[in-house]
Amino acid sequence: TFQEVPRAPPDVIFNLTATYKADTFEKKVNLGVGAYRDDNGKPWVLPVVKKAEREIINDPELDHEYLPITGLVSFKEASIKLILGADNPAIKEKRVVAAQTISGTGANHLGALFLSRFYRKGSIVYVSNPTWANHKPIFNNVGFETRDYAYYDPKTIGLDIGGMLDSLENAPEGSIILLHACAHNPTGVDPTQEQWKAIADVMEKKNHFPFFDCAYQGFASGDLDRDAWAVRYFVERGFELLVCQSYAKNFGLYGQRAGCLTFVLRDSETALKVDSQLAKLQRAEISNPPAHGARIVSLVLNDSALFDEWVENLKTMSFRIQEMRRRLYVNLVELETPGTWNHITDQIGMFSFTGLKPHQVKVIKEKYHVYLTDNGRISMAGLSSKNVEYFAKAVDDVVRN
């Protein structure tokens, strides 16, 4: 029956990690995957997560019953407060609803699925050029057409704000616009607050729907409020919107699949209706979400001492990454590597667009055993005090030759 099924290509990022693992070269470096590593190149279980996990497991009342269809209530409420700010008027006005999802990917999926049913038929989803490799497939899987809006300018290795505003202006009225809330993946290039205001102006004028993806809150700058600024600004401006949250990076809970999809709606009546439809969709998709990761997040977010400890852990991660950006920059400047490199320290979050061209990436992979995607994106988390100099020298070599 399935002889005619065409073979699909392997996933680029997961494939890169597999090739890296199989490489026996001692100084190999993996700058592909977007997962935090400590200065020894090892995964880091956040101390606050270990503490919360122990408490959960030692609770004699713990059972493994199903969660409600749209997830753990204390988790959802805390997630809403985290992204919107605890005193956001929209919460008091009861026009915010959420569903616990299979991490950020599941939040994107459930949001896309909901829009495919209940947003105006024939709408097009606009994503930044470039964007996270999973965005288009997620929307295409539920039947949406996706198009690009201008975003990254290879000439400046920065934001093409003029091009972006033009794209939004020229998109059909009422389009769905996917926006990275902070720490844009893959470029590390975010709009400034002034630029966000201009983006909101065009979106308001054209009646576009903001679909925020927030996978790096707190991880990007070490400041939870700052990383949520754009989402809160759009809420303040009166947009109806949705936002996807992932706890993969900021809690290091990659494999636990803890995430949340939040809708901010016009009024409380609409919120109740949307809530009921999210439950109906989720029931047929996953019945109910996994409990363990959500329990950890809920415990930490709802306990002020654990929350403070989490903020410290977040700073440990984001400051190490900022330090790696700084050291990479300093090394390249000292080597007098041709080109400008200030984008390395200007960019934010897990990823950085180096500006390396595909042929240079090929050489760096083959000659230096440094693994990164062909678009020149590196995961800063893969750099450490032990390999940053090696990497800088490799970049220097491929840029010169």
Selecting among 76, 136, 249, 365, the annotated active-site residue is 249
Q: Which long-range contacts (CB under 8 A, 24 or more apart) does 73-78 make?
A: 74/298, 74/302, 75/100, 75/258, 75/260, 75/294, 75/295, 75/297, 75/298, 75/301, 76/100, 76/260, 78/297, 78/298, 78/301, 78/302
**Judged by CB, which is closer to ligand PMP: 72, or 395?**
72
One of 34, 252, 289, 293 touching ligand PMP (CB under 6 A): 34
Asked whether the bond before 47 is cis by omega within 30 degrees of 0, the reply is: no
Site for ligand PMP in 142-181 (CB under 6 A): 180
Nearest approach in angstroms of CB 103 to ligand PMP is: 3
**Judged by CB, which is closer to ligand PMP: 178, or 399?**
178
Q: Which long-range contacts (CB under 8 A, 24 or more apart) does 318-325 make?
A: 318/218, 318/219, 318/220, 318/221, 318/222, 319/222, 320/38, 320/39, 321/36, 321/349, 321/350, 321/380, 321/381, 322/222, 324/380, 324/383, 324/384, 324/388, 325/352, 325/380
Distance CA 22, CA 293 (A): 31
Nearest approach in angstroms of CB 228 to ligand PMP is: 15
Selecting among 190, 213, 310, 341, the annotated active-site residue is 213
Nearest approach in angstroms of CB 349 to ligand PMP is: 9
- For the chain, counts of helices (H) and of strands (E): 16, 13
**Judged by CB, which is closer to ligand PMP: 14, or 319?**
14
Site for ligand PMP in 103-132 (CB under 6 A): 103-105, 132
Nearest approach in angstroms of CB 381 to ligand PMP is: 12
Regarding 248 and contact with ligand PMP (CB under 6 A), the answer is yes
Give, rounded to a whole angstrom, the gap between the first and last alpha carbons of the chain: 52
Regarding 32 and contact with ligand PMP (CB under 6 A), the answer is no
Pairing of strands 241-246, 258-264: antiparallel
Which ranges constitute the DSSP H helices of 59-102? Answer: 73-84, 89-92
- Catalytic site residue 367? no
Nearest approach in angstroms of CB 105 to ligand PMP is: 3
One of 128, 246, 331, 379 touching ligand PMP (CB under 6 A): 246
Distance CA 374, CA 383 (A): 18
Distance CA 354, CA 341 (A): 8
Stretch of 97-105, 119-127, 231-239, 381-389 contacting ligand PMP, by CB under 6 A: 97-105
One of 213, 243, 327, 378 touching ligand PMP (CB under 6 A): 213
- Catalytic site residue 280? no
**Judged by CB, which is closer to ligand PMP: 260, or 388?**
260
Regarding 215 and contact with ligand PMP (CB under 6 A), the answer is yes
Total residues contacting ligand PMP (rule CB under 6 A)?
13
One of 185, 298, 354, 379 touching ligand PMP (CB under 6 A): 185
Selecting among 44, 76, 132, 310, the annotated active-site residue is 132
The single residue listed with the structure tokens 């903020």 is 311
- Catalytic site residue 44? no
Nearest approach in angstroms of CB 117 to ligand PMP is: 21
**Judged by CB, which is closer to ligand PMP: 128, or 337?**
128
Distance CA 316, CA 309 (A): 11
Residue 41, CB half-sphere, CA atoms under 13 Å: how many?
Answer: 13
Stretch of 52-60, 64-72, 98-106, 158-166 contacting ligand PMP, by CB under 6 A: 98-106
Nearest approach in angstroms of CB 31 to ligand PMP is: 14
Helix (H, G, I), strand (E, B), or coil: what is residue 176? strand
Distance CA 187, CA 195 (A): 17
Catalytic positions are: 132, 213, 249
Residues that bind ligand PMP (CB under 6 A): 34, 103-105, 132, 180, 185, 213, 215, 246, 248, 254, 259
